[in-house]
Structure 1
């Protein structure tokens, strides 16, 4: 079994000394190319797994990358996490996760936990920590930020245009003939929720449609708040033929509320979400949504961190959201609502 294979086994297989194998694995000294190839071939054949902890001690590193997320149970964050794991796969580094739960005090505690593990680098996903504190972190650790732009750290931030994504979602509904479009906003203390509301408003303005604050209900990015938002709209007698939800999870709640009222989607109400989490293509009906490059966020952040740790240049790519049209939106039917 690979777990029982030792460095000495690799040395015998490669026809070199154990110290040569150690130098190749730890990169502590130059080794002749033919010997290096023989060691790597022996590692591959035997399935040898180096002791990363001991390897890290030899290098003065923990061989770990701290990841500050907000909610590991969130479908959005779980996809980004998957991308980080994929990006680190094959490297000697492993991720350590801690959740901030969208509270600055909890985020600080999460960072303390990660720092206590002597992490070698840091990936920050969203959050509410002040920019100055993130800049301070980045001054001491290789850092990449996902989902927000930190002034002074722009080259190390991965971000897709939330305003444009929301604009495209709302414009799609307008092009289908909808004029009374409700918006279930995310929690407006978060930057991305405010930007999606802004994109919604801009699309209305560009189509010469009035913004009606009575058609906007603030949720919290979880399914129950989407359900309650629709109940609030219907109970106040709001007239609308479409809903743009600031994320997919709230769109699921909205769909349930409409179903319970006997309101057909998309026959009577068209529905658009945001994020394109994996389940959205399997809802009834499949959800039209704005796809965020979640896996790419994670992969590119991991690649950038590895480049920083290895002293290599790396430029983060510009990533874009895109509208995915499925079966939850349709042309406005005359006489509906």
Structure 2
């Protein structure tokens, strides 16, 4: 049986959530709307982290299990710079650049020498993530930090039904939409994007045209790692920064990319939305078993659509 087009895939993926929404809204509309808003804004954060992972893992086929460490490093660097300078904006830039630099170092010193060796890449990056976690614990300790955003991002916005909702979470959603649009334009409407996609499909042919493949992949890795660091500062401002967040967001990125499909920006967005909503609906309506919903979605996807909802053949 031929699989439906992208639009139909999204409809099929959203059908279970629509059923849950109809039931939940009938029982308690206010709780349902609040859980939905929390799920969508959590999905926005997951998308920011997973979009970088999708570039590195989905497009370049590099198994970077240190991606969560890039998120946490960006958060710590952003917090430190923001705290020292009093500028949240400088903290965001510093966090993204710090993670991007480390990403380039990983590409040049690690992934460059093991193309196509997925198991070796996984083992090496797990070791790197453990070392980075210990180093960050040594520098920043086990305390919980939070970077305060600018004053105009504080407060709440008046929305229907829930009345007041944190403004910063809505800004987070806008940022995720902007990043998603920017990534799509980068990959589909720019020269570097075309080189990235061509290099993934046939690296030797692209190199034969005179393109510096190592430069292309270093740029790609910098963008993916920079997005992780950017998400670290954004997420650290919305929630908190503490040891263990690297593992949490690495796992979330893996699930989102597996569900959405490798190398697809739209798939990453849909996967993030499914996971974010399922987590918040689970917390709202079945807190004891809520964590199972995420893994049920992943298992169902792997069973019926192993390449992901928007993945290729």
Relative to the length of structure 2, the TM-score reads 0.28
Relative contact order: is structure 1 or structure 2 higher (C-alpha 8 Å, sep ≥ 6)?
2
Question: Would you tell me which structure has more helix in proportion to its own residues?
Answer: 2
Larger Rg: 1
